Amino acid sequence: MSDAKNTIKDLKDLKASGVEAAASSAEEASAEANQPRMPQRDSLGRAYATGRRKASIARVWIKPGAGKILVNGKDQREYFGRETSLLIINQPFLIASRLNQFDVMCTVKGGGLTGQAGAVRHGISRALQNYEPEVRPSLKDAGLLTRDSRVVERKKTGKKKARRSKQWAKR
């Protein structure tokens, strides 16, 4: 009988210590979350980030400058012909009120021009946040730090496209 009482007491002690450990780890995690973010720059004073959209991946470096944007070694207007793509790329700077204050150098692979423009925008947003952590709230509210996970649905067998069926005639 006394063994059962000791076992129950040991279980209660163990449960209480586990709750205290969980509470202390939760307090540590919230303390880490409340600490201000630090700028992340390399030895050349640049901030780096990776942006993704559809099948495109962009590697982006930003540094203070005159607002020159190079994509795969070409000027942004030369690489992206459409005006909408240029607006998409410059959106993070407009939202953060940093237009023509940073030079951007990026390499982008995969996908089409629209996906590549979205990947560059995502990379610029993340690099800008790494360079100046105080612009994070405005970029986050605009949804620029979130990776757009929508990708093309695969084609299914027996279908013309992903969901398009063959035409069917009743008579």
Spatial CA neighbour of 53 closest among 85, 97, 81: 85
In degrees to the nearest 10, what's the CA dihedral of 146, 152, 153, 155?
-170
Using CA atoms, how far apart are residues 24 and 18, in angstroms rounded to an integer?
10
For 13-47, how does the pLDDT look when each residue is reduced to its tens digit (9 = 90+)? Answer: 666 666 565 556 667 666 666 778 888 888 899 99
pTM (2 decimals)? Answer: 0.78
- Look up residue 91 and give its two tokens: 């959106």
Please choose, from the candidates 141, 120, 140, the residue with its C-alpha nearest in 3D space to the C-alpha of residue 53.
120
Q: How far apart are CA 76 and CA 81, in angstroms?
A: 8
Of 53, 38, 92, nearest to 69 (Cα)?
Answer: 92
Q: For residues 120 and 106, is the Cβ–Cβ distance under 8 A? A: yes
Judge whether 108 and 72 are in contact, CB under 8 Å: yes
Domains of the chain, with CATH numbers? 47-141 (3.30.230.10)
118-152 pLDDT, tens digit each: 999 999 999 999 999 999 999 999 999 999 999 99
